[in-house]
Amino acid sequence: MKRHPGGKMAKFWLQYGGFILPALAGYQFYLFYLAYSAGDWLYVAVHLFAGLVALAVGVWIIKLRWFGKGRGRCIICQKVYNEGREMTCSDECHEELVRRMVAQFGEFKKVVRQSTGVAYRVPIRDIIEPGVREQELDRYPLWED
């Protein structure tokens, strides 16, 4: 699953941009109005432009934040979520995912270590999330056919 752009800034703007930018746009439109009243055409253009840009970005962030484009969609309940895991929105849905995977594929999966060709017996639960790295495979029992 695709992660949305990380970083504290991106998170901050995703969280608060939907409030800050429309407010900023409103302020720019107010300055636009003042400049218009004063007949100051340079500032009319500047504030109109700034207002429209802030509004456009604000609307875009609101769409991301509340309407789910680019965010994760829970593969169990289909809910769009912002915080959470890679595939599911909550612990409950994660448990449900694990249950379904175990029902379909069994409790363990054969995982072959790329570098050595040795197969390990890894619980499905560990594979789903957070995932198993190659160097961690040693802690699992060997796969016996």
User: Smallest distance, Å, CB 76 to Zn ion?
Assistant: 5
CA-based nearest residue to 45, from 30, 58, 55, 35:
35
Angle between helices 41-67 and 8-38 (to 10 degrees): 150
With a CB cutoff of 8 Å and minimum separation 6, the contacts of 26 are 51
Q: How far apart are CA 82 and CA 61, in angstroms?
A: 13
Indicate the DSSP class of residue 133. Answer: -
User: Smallest distance, Å, CB 97 to Zn ion?
Assistant: 9
Q: Which is nearer to Zn ion, 38 or 77 (CB)?
A: 77
Residues 63-122 that bind Zn ion (CB under 5 A): 74, 76-77, 79, 89, 93
User: Smallest distance, Å, CB 42 to Zn ion?
Assistant: 52
Number of residues that bind Zn ion (CB under 5 A): 6
Q: Which is nearer to Zn ion, 64 or 93 (CB)?
A: 93
**Which residues of this chain interact with Zn ion, rule CB under 5 A?**
74, 76-77, 79, 89, 93
